[in-house]
Structure 1
Amino acid sequence: MKNYIFSNKTIYLSKDLPTTYMNLNGWSIICVTGLDKKKYLNNQFTIDINMINYDNYKFGAHCNINGKVWTSFLIFQYKHFYIYIVRSSVCKKHIHELKKYSLFSKVNIFEEKKFCLFGLCGLNSSKLLENFFSIKLSKKKSILVIHNIIILKINKPIERFLIIAYKKYLVDFLKFINCKAKYSNEMQWLELDIESCFPIMNKEIMGRFILQSLDLKKWGAINFNKGCYYGQEILCKYENKKINKFIICSIIGKSNKNNITYIFEPVEYKDVFGNRYNAGMVLSWVHIHKKKILLQVRMKINFFKRENNFFLLSHQDIDFKIYNM
């Protein structure tokens, strides 16, 4: 299935990004409450829920019984419940799969639509937060809660922040930030995720790939030592046999917006003799400043070399290079 993405806003690479904030409408917030919430999530998710606390979040994944990823997420503890963030396009299906086994557990899983979710990034973004809240951001803590506003600090590819709160608590902050930062849209946050090589889980991708082949292991999104969870047996076998042949990376090249890129489009490598090889596939992309396009690719590891040139059928005669190593 083809998936088209367009944006009217100017999107920047992280190295060129001015202080920017954006409303993240393409992401959803899920809350889990109930007496059995910790045990239930531990039996479903690939991470050890016991390792989550009020100061730091974790990346994790929810897999099917075959170890293929329904969604990746960022999860943390807040008050008496767990909160985690997923792409909106996978939210409904993910919740349906997660609830399947909850009949005899005291757990409530729901999308919290009353929360607002914003991103803040770029030059001086941390200083803006410190000035508005009259605080000093901690280097040891990745979560700050102040005046009922939750702030999550992410360090890749640059320091950036997720801001979560009910709308009534954000009014003064948004008035302040509107005078200090450029307003963009969610495509800028998507660009930063692509640049970070964090796998973009759209509805077309969910349930298709095993966890390690989406490079989620490097994000600490799996624990091989905790108790059983769905997909664990397959994931452990895959890990023990060391058979993963894929990496998530980003490639960059010139863009022509009349050329339509699509999810699963093959990425080809051409050697010095003119032979072409299937090197990977496109998972997501974004058009960026100065008429370029940044693509997230699930690439075969043996083609992951800085000197290699890559090609797409949708962008004929344009060379793509690996953007980050």
Structure 2
Amino acid sequence: MFTIASSPRLYPLTDRAVISLTGDERVKYLQGQVTCDVTALNAGDACPGGHCDSKGKLWASFWLANLGEQLLLVLNRSLVARQLPELKKFAVFSKVDIEDVSAQWQICGLAGEGLSHWLSHEVGDGNLWQGGVVMPVAAEHALLLLPKDAVLPELPQGDEQEWQGLMLQAGLPDMSAEHQGEYIPQMLNLQAIGGISFNKGCYMGQETVARAKYRGANKKAMFILEGEVEGEVAVNQDLELQLGDNWRRAGTVLSVCQQGNHCLLTSVLNKDLDADTVLRVKEQPDSRLRLRPLPYELAD
């Protein structure tokens, strides 16, 4: 549906938010809150991760970057209203300042053949650049965070929907407020893309995450679906699974990108689905969606 451009493109993004952590105990504090290993990140490094409640259900999935004196979380803007107060809940006991700094940053996607070569020429060895950071998220795909007063690179620009489609094809999770408190991290495949450390110390929701891995407690995963629909498809719409002549509820739309009647979306579904499973959007009985292979191996 979406083909990566033959040369690097810039995708200005409007639906992302940025949360900042500063202060002497920023790393220690965040390490006790999220699924990824914050202590493993040097200045310029980045990784995916999740922030859970005490029961292991996600408040947010995100990308985390270490800018040296500052940690930045990049996430879906709709998550901030509920997630930020939860992240700050215990901050009064630590030397850390946490705030929504979205207005201070320009957030863009970078993608295209030759992007890694372009970055090595423009950015150099590290990922810190012009007071911001480049965050690789997949092969020849990256997020770019630059201060508001920085000059964006002179590259052809693509639209936000195209970037969303590229992220869906890469199997990268993007949850919205509608799904907060519903999924554990493994249901969004965070373990498959390096977003969960099973060797770090305690963090919020760790017992549930560990149980899902070591006891096989998780029976769901995020899948990519593609096909034809009858009308507009939105986040949280119900999806149905075909069983002979009947249809049964299977899950909801996690994130979606649509061009006309052609639709690409992600959904959390049972892990044991057959590759030839047929699904549809519940309100659109003539729609048909099929599973698209994930670009990585799933693991508990």
- Correspondences of 1:1-325 after superposition (within 5 Å): 13-15=2-4, 19-112=8-101, 113-129=103-119, 133=122, 144-155=127-138, 158-171=139-152, 173=153, 176-177=154-155, 181=156, 183-256=157-230, 259-271=231-243, 273-288=244-259, 291-303=261-273, 305-325=274-294
The residue that corresponds to 2:298 in the other structure is none
Q: Residues 127 and 71 (structure 1 numbering): CA distance in 2 closer, same or farther, change over 3 Å?
A: same
1:105 partner amino acid: S
TM-score normalised per structure 1? 0.82
Aligned length: 293
Q: Is the 8 A contact 1:59 1:221 kept in 2?
A: yes
Conserved? CA contact 1:75–1:84, under 8 Å: yes
Deviation at 1:148, TM superposition (A): 3.0
Partner SS state of residue 142, structure 2: strand
Amino acid at match of 2:238: P
Q: Cα distance, 1:126 vs. partner?
A: 4.2
CA distance in 2, matches of 1:154, 1:162: 7
Q: 1:152 is paired with a residue of what secondary structure?
A: strand
* Partner-residue secondary structure (3-state), 1:320: strand
Q: CA deviation at 1:281?
A: 2.2
Q: CA RMSD in A?
A: 2.3
| 8 Å CA contact 1:261, 1:314 repeated in 2 | no
Distance between the aligned counterparts of 2:195 and 2:179, measured in 1?
Answer: 17
Tell which structure's C-alpha radius of gyration is larger: 1
